[in-house]
Structure 1
Amino acid sequence: MKKLFLLAIGVMFYSVASAQNETDSIANGNQEVKINLAMSVVGIPEISYEYFLEDNTSVGLSIGAALDTPEDLSLRFIGTAYYRLFFGKKPNAGFFIEGNAAVVHYRDIYDEYYYTYYEDGDYSYIRYEVDDESTNFGLGAAVGFKLMTRNNYVGEIYAGAGRLFGDSHDIEVFPRVGVSIGKRF
Structure 2
Amino acid sequence: IMRKITTLLCVFCCCIAFSQEKEVPTFKKNEIKGNALFLVLGAVEITYERLITEDSGVGATVFFVAEDEFDSNFIFTPYYRAYFGKKPAAGFFVEGFSMISTGISNKMYYYDNNGNLTNIDEDRYTDFALGFGLGSKWVHKRGFVFEINAGIGRNLLSTNSPEVVPRGGITLGYRF
TM-score (norm 2): 0.75
Match for residue 36 of structure 1?
35
Query: Residues 11-160 of structure 1 correspond to what in structure 2 (within 5 A)?
Result: 28-66=27-65, 68-70=66-68, 72-110=69-107, 130-160=121-151
Contact 2:124 2:160 in 1 (8 A): no
Q: Which runs of 5+ in 2 are unaligned?
A: 1-25, 109-119
| Corresponding position of 1:21 | none
Mark the runs of 5 or more structure 1 residues left unpaired by the alignment. Answer: 1-26, 112-128
How far did 1:73 drift?
2.0
Aligned-partner SS, 1:33: strand
Q: Is the 8 Å Cα contact of residues 39 and 177 (structure 1) preserved in structure 2?
A: no
Q: Which moved more, 1:41-50 or 1:85-94?
A: 41-50
For residues 2-60 of structure 1, give each alpha carbon's deviation from its aligned partner in whole angstroms, at most 9, with x where no partner exists: xxxxxxxxxxxxxxxxxxxxxxxxx7310000001112223321000000101100000
Q: Distance in 2 between matches of 1:173 and 1:37?
A: 23
Determine helix, strand or coil for the equivalent of 1:41.
helix
CA contact under 8 A between 1:38 and 1:178: conserved in structure 2?
yes
**1:150 offset after TM fit, Å?**
1.0
Q: What's the counterpart of residue 9 of structure 2? A: none
Q: Deviations over 1:102-157 (max 9, x none)?
A: 1011101256xxxxxxxxxxxxxxxxx53111110000111000001110100000
TM-score (norm 1): 0.72
Q: Distance in 2 between matches of 1:91 and 1:69?
A: 38
Deviation of residue 175 (structure 1)?
1.7
1:170 Cα deviation from its structure 2 partner: 5.9
In structure 2, how many angstroms separate the alpha carbons of the residues matched to 1:99 and 1:57? Answer: 12
Change (3 A) 1:170 1:52: closer
Q: Is the 8 A contact 2:105 2:125 kept in 1?
A: yes
Pick the structure with greater CA Rg. Answer: 2
Question: Structure 1 residue 74: deviation in Å?
Answer: 1.1
Question: What RMSD in Å do the two structures reach over aligned CA positions?
Answer: 1.7
Which residue number in structure 2 is paired with residue 11 of structure 1? none
The amino acid of 2:155's aligned partner reads L
Letter in 2 for 1:41: V
Q: Which amino acid aligns with 1:106?
A: G
Q: 2: distance between equivalents of 1:110 and 1:148? A: 42
How many equivalent pairs are there?
141
